[in-house]
Structure 1
């Protein structure tokens, strides 16, 4: 804040002590200093401390000095004041705007003085900026803008036009250097203050008619564009709830004016177009074909024109103004005459340049006017195609019902006039915006119709080839010697590399055409069905974008790879070319190595390997799934029985967690042995064989067991996963000798032998009775004694 106070004090010191004649060269540096003091100027001055009181004094001193400079007798003083006032109000915001009424009066006075054009232009810009900044403060609008705006409109109109006392309209001055500044100021303020502008709409309309309908002299393109935008914005000044109807009427009058002008411009050919609107069929008026083409006042009140060039200019200006109707924001919802616009574009696009030289000409018109019209057709078609582009952008997805009709009109013009660079660029833009909406639902026939357009895009993006010129310069060996001598270029012998280098350096670069072609290729790859594009065309597109190193097109090709519908070949991708051309781009990095989900490139994290843990977890889960707990019911494993019930078997099996330690009993050991040494379960007739596949564990070694299919009940010593009734095994069966095991193994082996060796000769006992298990290690000896 101290730095700002020092800067403000320095500005006041210079404005006070430096002579006024020397202030203009310092105006830019003083304005920059004021812009840096924005925090100080916009802070409310409470004057509670000495420093704040000093700052308030400096601000008041600055505003007083600028107010006096606005009324200075010298031009230098007024110019400096205008520049500093603009910088002051932009930096100070509300604190400065609330006291800007003296500034507004001083700036309005400058507009009425014979000051230079630069001072008046800067005054208009500063006043527009003040009115713009006060819009967010209703109190300031009521105190400053509303009282001052009518005087500003009148003063600005007086700078560019003359108002006769007897007429309500104005006549535009021939040489008015402030036209663009005044129209820009009106276009910015009219939408925010329509009520204030309402009394001046007639005068503004007359000025705009003179600019839009001018034939000689013609105004520059920026002035025409801002005049067309202001003409469309005049509907905001209509009475309450009538702005939409006013917009619609103005749009229809513009369409009628275009049709009237087209009737005279296109009179050299016989049109095949027939309007669907009955009122337009009766629009054609009798013409005198013996006189030069021309037209009188039309529906918009524009002036007359004479000659075909003036008529084409008028037609192009009106088409651009119709586009402004679609692009300019409106105060309320409006009804767009879509059918009338498409009818107009169809009429203009149906008259194309004849490809074979044959055209249905009007016999009452001479050949010179007809040929002149054919040379002007590309200009008309470019304006018509630009109108359709704005139409598609305005309607967005709602354009789908008529999208195919618009595409057909574009292809008509392209096939006939693709020799024109402007026409190709306009067609590329129109097809691109159409593909965004209708691309995913296109058929194979629709995609095939774009083949010529896409090949033309590839040709426009590639640099001119030198092989054609070299072939053209190479003499034909079959021709005669005299003719070959006349066609040889002697300079090519002196410097063989001169011609190719000169060709490459002198080849023109059409920025707009290349931009349109590149964007069309991106839209085609992104929105059109890639499987419907022929392999030859897709190869040409990929080759073109590789040679031009177009990043957006290359990314679109990678994200939408070519798919072979016939199932032959391998899908190709230009990913290596993208990585080679743009290795440091973030898009390419994210495409090649995505980080979602996060990928760990190292062997492990935090000192352990995640892969080993995953393998152990998988092993434990496999053991738990394949090692069911034995059933508590005797199912008659080796006893002939009917086919077992799958539901009962699944209900009898209980899954145990792999991480829990099994208890030291017969059942747990039998479960482990069975899981480690899977046996092939054999059932009698009617039963299905079940085979369990598990991986053998490396930690526990068990003795080899004979297969159940080969062993008899007398020699069976294995342990089943379920209880086996003792009636199926002889009482004298003895366990097989086994290898030494761990401490807990003898008790478990003995328990397993007791389970298989219990005597149960009573046939009346139920098979479902649970056998009595004895975990005593001396069970086998007691059985032998009995």
Structure 2
């Protein structure tokens, strides 16, 4: 089939006009992928007729693809690029080792005026070729090393312009190849760093223009992400054994660039922060307040200058986005993360918050710089939440990257984020980022938190509950104030919203629409509640806070929060009663969930400790006994202390009413070491023998009276209360009795010919019940000559042993 498909592909490529090839390119590429086994097989092992034909077809395919790459038409070159990639994916090494001319043709297409789609596919195809050759040193030496420098140069020329006398590049505006080019460079730089080393300066100049752009609208989010990854990966191009030092130097320069930008952005306030780094304190200089806020550049990282508060905030956000990339991008060597410098930076950024009274400096909690006008100050207050959102997101990336390694700095991160939340919780971005950070931080440090730390989370918890709760009564009466001045103002107000009176639910619907417009905020809040209940010590949560969490989870029917509340109940403490559980609400809302079913009705296997059955019951034997009407001892009774000697069918209703068991059992102190010469007409349905019974030497005092042997054809158990239970005829195995008298609780029958009476025990003082006439008289008379030893009516044990004896009294 593979041979047929390959022959069909070469035939279609040869006979179809070039202008019509793009219409069947997808079909031809799929057909080539079906020939992977044929294309990847070694060519030197083909000796048969069919194998020689396959070699001919493969040669035709390569020749046709090489001619299409040199074709004058755009359709031919586009088709060739697609089919070359499909052929390489199918054949890999067997195709790669003879494709050098095709590689040069692909690189040449990047310099031709082909469509954007053709050049993008050419970049993708060449990147895939270099990936496939990476695991073969011979192909790397023959293909990758000589071809990749030309490929890097061609890709950089597509997105930038390089003056002949300089080592820097200028980015082309609105280039459509930027994302594809960055993808290719990011994928190859870590595998071939020595080839990229001569181009590192050119790539760096290109990336700082992207990262330091004053407006994010110039570049898309994927382009910015790729530029940041490539910027961090440039440390791979450092000389041997210096990549770790290059990475450390890059992150230090990034921190210094953020500090330099903050010096200008925060000039409207007098900062109370002082750096722990002496170099930063010495480098600080007094800005020129007569000019517009800005930086002429370049900064320590090489980024260009900026002007205006908004541009400065954009630069801070871009650098705070770049900083986590140093932690998430793989490094070529072991590096040390400068946590101290990072926390020093974030302490500065979070210490400046929106003041409580921004209009009146005398009532504000922030000290203003009186040399700065009010317009710049107001612009800073409007931009501060964006800076703090980026800072908290950096904390989140830091926690996710270091995981448990962040524990020494976790308390500082928590405190800094709470500073911002208390001052700027009016901002949705602040609330969302804080909830996400707490959700990642509490599983690490929650179990070790103190009561004071848990109390500091009260405002975050209440705000989280408020996010999830449905809107309450938002009518006009809800906004009424008790202040008399406010009442007078309302009375003198002429303009009144009449729609609020005609449609009281207008505000509620508006609030619901605004809540649904921010699904990220609701998602973060709903994930935080279960985390608080699972990882924060519940004994440190105040009763009011815990009640609000439970109330919120019930009202919004949040399954995870209700499960966490049930599994982490409020502990009983001195002066506080037992807290109520919300399990009924959980069952009512999620009765069909497996977690709720396992919590409410746990299924646990029956633990059996029977040594004979090794913990497993024989189901077949139990079913046979139930079908024959015989009650056999259960696994719990088969312990060696009590042994059943007679198969007796019991009435369950009477047994439960009287509270006694009617099965006839032998004494746990039976003595069975004496030679046995006499048999008994009563058999046991239990598979156990007399050797399984615990034995003890008996005391002999008196002889048993002569008691006739009962009939086994049809016997009945006569009780002192209730009807007689008849037992069907069964096959009986006789058991020998000892020749001498023993003290035993083996039940004996009366000398009457009326059947089997109530068992007699040493403690029983009742006489056998009256016999029923007409049952087994003849057989009883025949066996009347046989004598049984008399019972010893005196106890054979001490008083404390008598309590352990099993009696058969009703």
Change (3 A) 1:129 1:578: farther
What's 2:473 paired with? 467
More deviation in 46-55 or 77-86? 46-55
What's 1:749 paired with? 790
Change (3 A) 1:355 1:699: farther
Q: How does 1:243-642 map to 2 (within 5 A)?
A: 243-295=243-295, 296-357=297-358, 358=364, 359-463=366-470, 465=471, 467-469=473-475, 471=477, 487=496, 489=498, 493=502, 504=512, 508-565=516-573, 568-569=577-578, 571-574=580-583, 577=586, 580-581=589-590, 583=592, 597=605, 605-606=619-620, 608=622, 615=634, 617-618=636-637, 621-623=640-642, 627-628=668-669
Alpha-carbon distance between aligned partners in 2 of 1:48 and 1:700, rounded to the nearest angstrom = 96
Alpha-carbon distance between aligned partners in 2 of 1:7 and 1:743, rounded to the nearest angstrom = 100
Answer whether contact 1:12 1:58 (CA < 8 A) is retained: yes
Alpha-carbon distance between aligned partners in 2 of 1:280 and 1:82, rounded to the nearest angstrom = 54
What's 1:202 paired with? 201
Change (3 A) 1:502 1:422: closer
What's 1:240 paired with? 240
Alpha-carbon distance between aligned partners in 1 of 2:764 and 2:322, rounded to the nearest angstrom = 97
Corresponding residue to 1:701 among 760, 764, 779: 760
SS in 2 for 1:166: coil
What's 2:28 paired with? 30
User: Offset of 1:488 from its aligned partner?
Assistant: 5.6
User: Offset of 1:345 from its aligned partner?
Assistant: 0.3
The unaligned stretches of length 5 or more in structure 2 are: 359-363, 609-616, 644-665, 674-693, 698-732, 750-755, 767-779, 797-810
Answer whether contact 1:312 1:376 (CA < 8 A) is retained: yes
More deviation in 524-533 or 192-201? 524-533
Change (3 A) 1:174 1:621: same
Change (3 A) 1:498 1:432: closer
User: Offset of 1:346 from its aligned partner?
Assistant: 0.4
Answer whether contact 1:662 1:668 (CA < 8 A) is retained: no
Answer whether contact 1:623 1:675 (CA < 8 A) is retained: no
What's 1:132 paired with? 131
User: Offset of 1:363 from its aligned partner?
Assistant: 0.9
Answer whether contact 2:190 2:233 (CA < 8 A) is retained: yes
What's 1:715 paired with? none
Change (3 A) 1:608 1:753: closer
Answer whether contact 1:579 1:588 (CA < 8 A) is retained: no
Alpha-carbon distance between aligned partners in 1 of 2:536 and 2:794, rounded to the nearest angstrom = 78
The unaligned stretches of length 5 or more in structure 1 are: 633-652, 677-696, 708-738, 757-786
SS in 2 for 1:487: coil
User: Offset of 1:343 from its aligned partner?
Assistant: 0.4
User: Offset of 1:329 from its aligned partner?
Assistant: 1.1
Q: How does 1:85-234 map to 2 (within 5 A)?
A: 85-215=84-214, 218-234=218-234
More deviation in 221-230 or 574-583? 574-583
Alpha-carbon distance between aligned partners in 2 of 1:310 and 1:154, rounded to the nearest angstrom = 33
Alpha-carbon distance between aligned partners in 2 of 1:499 and 1:267, rounded to the nearest angstrom = 41
More deviation in 429-438 or 62-71? 62-71
Alpha-carbon distance between aligned partners in 1 of 2:375 and 2:489, rounded to the nearest angstrom = 41
Alpha-carbon distance between aligned partners in 1 of 2:492 and 2:747, rounded to the nearest angstrom = 101
User: Offset of 1:71 from its aligned partner?
Assistant: 1.4
Alpha-carbon distance between aligned partners in 2 of 1:675 and 1:90, rounded to the nearest angstrom = 91
Alpha-carbon distance between aligned partners in 1 of 2:402 and 2:140, rounded to the nearest angstrom = 36
Alpha-carbon distance between aligned partners in 1 of 2:760 and 2:781, rounded to the nearest angstrom = 10
More deviation in 548-557 or 135-144? 548-557
Alpha-carbon distance between aligned partners in 2 of 1:404 and 1:617, rounded to the nearest angstrom = 56
SS in 2 for 1:58: helix
Change (3 A) 1:571 1:605: farther
Answer whether contact 1:627 1:675 (CA < 8 A) is retained: no
What's 1:763 paired with? none
SS in 2 for 1:290: coil
User: Offset of 1:110 from its aligned partner?
Assistant: 0.5
Change (3 A) 1:574 1:23: farther
User: Offset of 1:619 from its aligned partner?
Assistant: 6.6
More deviation in 272-281 or 610-619? 610-619
Answer whether contact 2:745 2:762 (CA < 8 A) is retained: no
Change (3 A) 1:152 1:555: farther
User: Offset of 1:286 from its aligned partner?
Assistant: 2.3
User: Offset of 1:10 from its aligned partner?
Assistant: 3.4
User: Offset of 1:179 from its aligned partner?
Assistant: 1.7
User: Offset of 1:309 from its aligned partner?
Assistant: 1.0
Change (3 A) 1:748 1:280: same
SS in 2 for 1:468: coil
Change (3 A) 1:698 1:433: farther
User: Offset of 1:229 from its aligned partner?
Assistant: 1.1
SS in 1 for 2:642: helix
Answer whether contact 2:320 2:391 (CA < 8 A) is retained: yes
Answer whether contact 2:475 2:505 (CA < 8 A) is retained: no
SS in 1 for 2:240: coil
Alpha-carbon distance between aligned partners in 2 of 1:234 and 1:365, rounded to the nearest angstrom = 40
SS in 1 for 2:114: coil
Change (3 A) 1:269 1:747: same
Answer whether contact 2:190 2:236 (CA < 8 A) is retained: yes
Alpha-carbon distance between aligned partners in 1 of 2:748 and 2:112, rounded to the nearest angstrom = 108
**RMSD after superposition:** 4.0
User: Offset of 1:631 from its aligned partner?
Assistant: 13
Answer whether contact 1:432 1:519 (CA < 8 A) is retained: yes
Alpha-carbon distance between aligned partners in 2 of 1:93 and 1:548, rounded to the nearest angstrom = 56
Alpha-carbon distance between aligned partners in 2 of 1:663 and 1:531, rounded to the nearest angstrom = 68
Change (3 A) 1:122 1:629: same
SS in 2 for 1:211: helix
What's 2:10 paired with? 12
Answer whether contact 2:232 2:326 (CA < 8 A) is retained: yes
Answer whether contact 2:251 2:323 (CA < 8 A) is retained: yes
Answer whether contact 1:35 1:91 (CA < 8 A) is retained: yes
Deviations 1:531-562 (A, max 9, x none): 33334433433443445454544544444444
User: Offset of 1:218 from its aligned partner?
Assistant: 4.1
Alpha-carbon distance between aligned partners in 1 of 2:578 and 2:321, rounded to the nearest angstrom = 50
Change (3 A) 1:42 1:289: same
SS in 2 for 1:251: helix
Answer whether contact 1:626 1:675 (CA < 8 A) is retained: no
User: Offset of 1:232 from its aligned partner?
Assistant: 0.7
Answer whether contact 1:349 1:381 (CA < 8 A) is retained: yes
Deviations 1:462-489 (A, max 9, x none): 45x263146569999x999998996363
